[in-house]
Chain A
């Protein structure tokens, strides 16, 4: 059982020690990591994914339930409590979607029936163009690949800690992903540039120069503002869908009024 994960400070890009004692995330928490590009967001979640023990470029140390992870936990995918969705929009494995999912299920030692089909069905909720089981993973589009990998992380990774690296720019249905992911008792960490995702999470880490600069806990005023943003985001979504489908955009559709 994963109750909490703790990150001890490492070094920023100038090799100065990070300015916090430790950061703890507990089961059921959602966290967003924000900051300009190059500020160390991906490095932060990669440290968690690798369960860094001072042996990554940031020198951070990650403990789980207060203890350093065993070697088995670090190196055996079937024991790994962490699933990460990276920004990769490409798969290199020369396998069909079904083969890919089945081999990954073997790696994670998951034997559930019809797992590949279920995973594909979930992936198809996130993407416009449907994925078929005999598609080669190498020819999937960027959005399809990311949808598949998100579904894979949820169904086959099925880990208590989920790390998502900029899911908003994948050309997939963001709202759906967030809804499914939010109703869990997992620790979910988003690296994001999206204000909606950032405001919907309980904690917000601000990165700068490779270090955690600040931690902000969600407050009511912001949650209220987030509701407005979600409305705008939905409207954006409608406009985007209309554009994609070849419709012309009317004045009416562009009219936005704040609550």
Chain B
């Protein structure tokens, strides 16, 4: 089974891109789809209605969506396998932008809209810098020059990312993305791991340590002067 993890901010065009991918591969492969969201999602119903493929959604609730993804993914893979899926697409809402949902196997795709703002690629951190592929959507809404300015900004965050531009509503010029999916090797479920480093799990303030000053605390990444404490994990 191939695995595709699609991430990106709300309204970037993730589902639109997903639909193009499903449309392209539905006669070649059995496809299953999982949507991870926080509050509300309809995409599972939409996709199952339109393409008649097995879909599922999970609300992360009090967990962050990437955390929820890690927790449920093993079961989700079993579920997709029980439907004999050849391609499993996981679509995730990116929220705090600290982490990225990509795994050490399969393809990680970040979807960015042409009109999402020029600083978005830098602000989105690991979601961009750890992706295999960046898809820039809504290219019909901006000038060629502005598209190229955004591409340059993405490349400055992640030099090696494969970049595709598309009008996802029409699915223009996605052949090379489809080739990447076709050539993506099957995953090995037992060795799956997160691609990026997770954030610190403990906050000393939260567990009740009252002493003032960074030396009394761990899990505090920055000191007042902005330096990173040496003994602490620094993030990606």
Contacts and interface: CB of A to CB of B under 8 A. Distances in A.
A153 B175 contact: no
Given A56-B170, A57-B170, A91-B146, A75 B176 contact: yes
Contact of A149 (B140, B145, B172, B175): B145
Interface in B156-204: 163-165, 170-176
Given A77-B151, A104-B149, A91 B142 contact: yes
A211 interface: no
A57 B163 CA distance: 20
A157 B119 contact: no
B100 to A, nearest CB: 23
Most chain A CB within 10 A, of B114, B152, B155, is at: B152
Contacts of B163: 75
Interface stretch (A28-36, A92-100, A218-226, A231-239): A92-100
B118 interface: yes
Interface string B115-145: 1011100000000000000000000111111
Interface residues of B, number: 29
A104 B118 contact: no
B118 A93 contact: yes
Contacts of A91: 142-143, 146
B142 A88 contact: yes
| The 3 A-B residue pairs with the shortest CB-CB distance in the complex, in nearest-first order | A107-B152, A93-B118, A77-B148
A153 B173 contact: no
B144 A84 contact: yes
A110 to B, nearest CB: 11
A77 B143 contact: no
A157 B144 CA distance: 9
B119 to A, nearest CB: 7
A91 B142 CA distance: 7
Contacts of A84: 143-144
Given A50-B173, A55-B175, A106 B152 contact: yes
A88 B114 CA distance: 13
B144 A49 contact: yes
Contacts of A85: 143-144
A54 B175 CA distance: 9
A71 interface: yes
A108 B148 contact: yes
Given A74-B173, A77-B152, A107-B155, 4 more contacts: A86-B144, A92-B114, A94-B118, A152-B145
Interface of B: 114-115, 117-119, 140-146, 148-153, 155, 163-165, 170-176
10 contacts: A46-B172, A50-B165, A52-B172, A54-B175, A56-B170, A75-B163, A92-B142, A93-B149, A104-B152, A107-B149
Contacts of B155: 107
B176 A57 contact: no
Interface of A: 46, 49-50, 52-57, 71, 74-75, 77, 83-86, 88, 91-95, 100, 103-104, 106-108, 149, 152-153, 156-157
Contacts of B140: 46
Contact of B143 (A71, A74, A75, A149): A149
A107 B148 contact: yes
Contacts of B114: 92
B173 A56 contact: yes
B94 to A, nearest CB: 20
Nearest to B175: A55
Given A75-B164, A88-B143, A103 B172 contact: no
Contacts of A74: 173, 176
Q: Which of A52, A56, A94, A157 has the most CB of B within 10 A?
A: A56
B172 A55 contact: yes
B184 to A, nearest CB: 17
Contacts of A57: 170-172
A84 B114 CA distance: 16
A221 to B, nearest CB: 36
Contact of A153 (B119, B141, B144): B144
A209 to B, nearest CB: 17
A86 B143 contact: yes
A52 B167 CA distance: 13
Nearest to A105: B152
B66 to A, nearest CB: 27
